[in-house]
Structure 1
Amino acid sequence: MKKILLNLLSNAIKFTPEGKQILVELQIENETVALSVKDQGIGIPDNKIDFIFDRFVQINTSLSRRAEGTGIGLSLVKKLVELMEGDIKVKSKEGKGTEFIMKFKKQGGQTPSTNNLVRLDSSMSDKIHIEFSDIN
């Protein structure tokens, strides 16, 4: 779970301009746990959304792109979610932002329903430099 969240946060930080928000939401219900990472970043074009979980796919492959990466992060996230018997979906609007929503079957005993929301400060990109390959 830690690797999934760190990769999604890393992407959100890379693709969200300064002054915009990144929201992390956790919803715990009787049978499921839902985790969402939502940003106000550049978004994903409609014609590319079906390919973002493919290995080595990068939406912007131009040499001048702002964010570097190998294009395997989201494919690894999807694989980890599936190994945990979860489901991942993406909602995105180009120029407005992207939201990744993961749902997992809850393990263990009953926990009361709850909803937690965390907002990352826009200065976090100066403080956090997380790359999926850096995670042990």
Structure 2
Amino acid sequence: MGLFGNKKSQEERTEDAMKKAEDLVGGKGVMGKVTKGFMGKEFTDQMSQGLQAGRDAQAAVAANAAAAAAGIPGVKATVTALADTGTMINNDPVVNLSVTLEGGQALQLDQTLVSKLQIPRVGDSITLIPNPVQPGSYVYGGLAV
């Protein structure tokens, strides 16, 4: 609202910014059409992919926070393959991870945001946290201790 009125929360401001960016990239409104006209479809497609990666990262952070708050234990896994996607979110890389769980089950984690301070290598032991938003899937929880 205004200077002294109700302020939006950080989540509301983030959601508003993401919605505006998606409308712009989607060609909605005058600015969306101008952007698409001047920058081209290839640029707007790349921006759309970046926005989707940002949404995925937000979901992973929310899942990690929910799991930590609920006291959900992590699952140990070993990295068998790692591929950089070339996407960065807040200077942290988004990677595709192939892992093997302790029970021997192979698992693929696509478009996974990892901290550049904790980038796993092949053979490293990592912690995966069950995703409460999508049962049966996991999110990267960091290097195992």
TM-score bracket for this pair, using the shorter chain length: under 0.3
Greater RCO structure (CA 8 Å; 6+ sep)? 1
Q: Normalising by the residue count of structure 1, what TM-score does the alignment of the two structures yield?
A: 0.23
Q: Normalising by the residue count of structure 2, what TM-score does the alignment of the two structures yield?
A: 0.22
